Amino acid sequence: MVPTGNRQRSESDTALYEPGVVARRSIGGMVTPPPIVTVDRPLPERGRARYRAGSRRRYVPVRMKLAGSLLFAAGWVGGSSWLAQPWIADLAAITGPILAWAVVAGIALIPGLANAFVIASLIIDRRPVYPDVAVPSRAVTILVAAYNEADYIADTVRSVFAQQYEPGRELIVIDDGSTDATAAVVQDLIDHGVAPAGDQLRLIRQAENGGKAAALNAGLAAARYDLIVTLDGDTWLHRDALRNLVLNHEGSPSNTAATAGTVLVRNSRANRLTRLQEWDYFMGIASVKRVQSLYQGTLVAQGAFSAYERSVLREVGGWQEVVGEDIVLTWDIIDRDYRVGYADDAIAFTRVPETMGRYFRQRKRWSRGLIEAFRRFPRVFFRPRLNLPFVYLNFTYPYLDLIYMTVFVPGVLAAVFFGMYAIAGIMTLVLVPLALLMSLVMYVRQLKAFRARGLRVRRNLLGFAGYLLAYQAILSPASLAGYFAELLGRRKNW
């Protein structure tokens, strides 16, 4: 998912953006609103004045959208359950009725419920659009926690200062005890005056590697401005990403404490694994964040590119020393009845793992972070809010991954090689049209957002086919390893 117009070359022959240039190509391939909370330092006033005028669509309240999407999902599950009765009966003859229902729920009914809910929500979603002349009103501090990022940190810094951002910005790079030339590269950029007049590039050096949370907290303590943006050291901002992120944040309801940007894949051409991840970021992750934000609560403001109110960061005590520091931070914010938004037009490109080992460790960390969030903030399961269905859906992930790896995959193998269709039979085909419909709706939504940014989707049909057919078989083992590692209290590192 990387643009190819006006190319630079990386060691993996990946096409990159050049700052300030419109790329020609890119990627291949639920119920009361949360109350406004009074804190020591009130959040800034927000409004909708910057939304583009002209569209007079009839306004549909979010609660009605939620009710409609849930009704559609319930109808799909009801129909699927009726059609699956023969399948359940055959399976119950082998396993008993309770286990048979548990298996079918994990393979078909819960995924079908989730997919149908996402499809309906994406179809009715209408997001605000800002005119090209709109200008944010707030200066920002951008924090980059970097550990051994000498090969990529210069591109990251340059992409920040290539942004047209009038209110002003400072970029603080926190070198977290790197053993390579990360600090030297940043210092050279400072010496050569890469920051435009009125902006500032600063370097903080940690003597020892203390972890990402410690590095970000050090940057937070040194920040000048009240709006904080985090950015990974190998992530590149598209030309108006910073402006769009802050505009979305400022245009959100007044209790919005954080806004997640859109993170896509920068090194998609490296190999088959990165091509699969390209589609995961483009359609899966981005679409789920879009739907979560529709119901007033994105569940993860990822550290790779998100904006936060400094007053709220201080209220929650900053980033915690955990594996999933961005997941835990977001759930802490939500637990205090703040809102977390999502900016689909604030696009950044990050490097994803190019080897199975690195991919496995990354997704293991992410799944550990989910369990950390469950343990630390159980109240989110019981406090009414519009995005509550997604909280419960996240709670089913360990179960779904377990059923997938221990039942569905063996069932497919049994059907293919031994003609045993108790698990993977004709009824599993009920999932196919829904999966294809969801992929189509996700693709169309993301394509529209991409074209609005002057980008084009690269043809990556093999990567797309692999994403639909094989990606879950790669993702689930890593996720299961993370769930069990956290539940068993295994040693944590990042």
pLDDT tens-digit map of 339-363: 999 998 899 999 999 999 999 999 9
**Pair (356, 397) in one structural domain:** no
Q: What angle do CA 325, 326, 330 make, to 5 degrees?
A: 120
Which residue ranges of the chain lie beneath pLDDT 70?
1-58, 128-133, 425-427, 429-431, 492-494
188 and 233 part of one domain: yes
- What pLDDT is attached to residue 151? 95
The residue out of 361, 381, 401 marking a domain boundary is 381
In a domain, 233, yes or no: yes
Tokens describing residue 163: 């942004």
Q: What pLDDT sits at residue 327?
A: 95
Of 381, 399, 423, which marks where a domain is finished?
381
The residue range of the domain holding 417 is 62-127+391-487
pLDDT of residue 447: 81
Residue position matching structure tokens 């689930």: 476
Per the domain annotation, does 43 fall within a domain? no
Verify that 166 and 83 share a domain, yes or no.
no
| Residue 80 CB neighbours (<10 A) | 20
Which of residues 333, 352, 381 is at a domain's end? 381
SS3 of 111, please? Answer: helix
Q: Would residue 258 count as lying in a domain?
A: yes
Assess whether 313 and 248 both reside in one domain: yes
Residue 73 lies in a domain: yes
The first and second tokens of residue 408, run together, are 């569905």
* Domain-located, residue 193: yes
Q: Are residues 159 and 110 in the same domain?
A: no
Q: Are residues 221 and 259 in the same domain?
A: yes
The pair of three-digit structure tokens given for residue 168, joined into one six-digit string: 């002003």
Question: What would the pLDDT profile of 224-273 be if each residue is shown by its tens digit?
Answer: 999 999 999 999 999 899 999 999 999 888 899 999 999 999 998 899 99
Length of the chain equals: 494
Q: What is the structure's pLDDT at 133? A: 64
Helix extents (H) in 377-430: 388-403, 409-418
Dihedrals phi, psi of 44, to nearest 5 degrees: -65, 155
434 and 474 both lie in a single domain: yes
**Beta strand extents in 289-405 (DSSP E only):** 305-309, 339-350
**Are 77 and 223 in the same domain?**
no
**Is-contact 300 370, C-beta < 8 A?**
no
Q: Give pLDDT, residue 427.
A: 64
pLDDT at position 489: 83
Same domain for 362 and 285, yes or no, is: yes
The tokens describing 351, both together, are 């490097």
Total number of domains constituting the chain: 2
- Assigned domain for 120 exists: yes
pLDDT value of position 423: 84
For residue 135, how many other CB atoms are within 10 A of its CB? 14
Tell me 386's DSSP state. Answer: T
Quote the pLDDT of residue 366: 94
Question: Residues 378-413, buried b or exposed e (16+ Cβ, 10 A)?
Answer: eebeeeebbbbbbbebbebbbebbbbbbebbbebee
Read off the CATH number of the domain in which 287 is found.
3.90.550.10
What is the distance between the alpha carbons of residues 331 and 318, in angstroms, rounded to a whole number?
Answer: 13
Tokens coding 412: 């497919």
**Can you give the pLDDT at residue 43?**
54
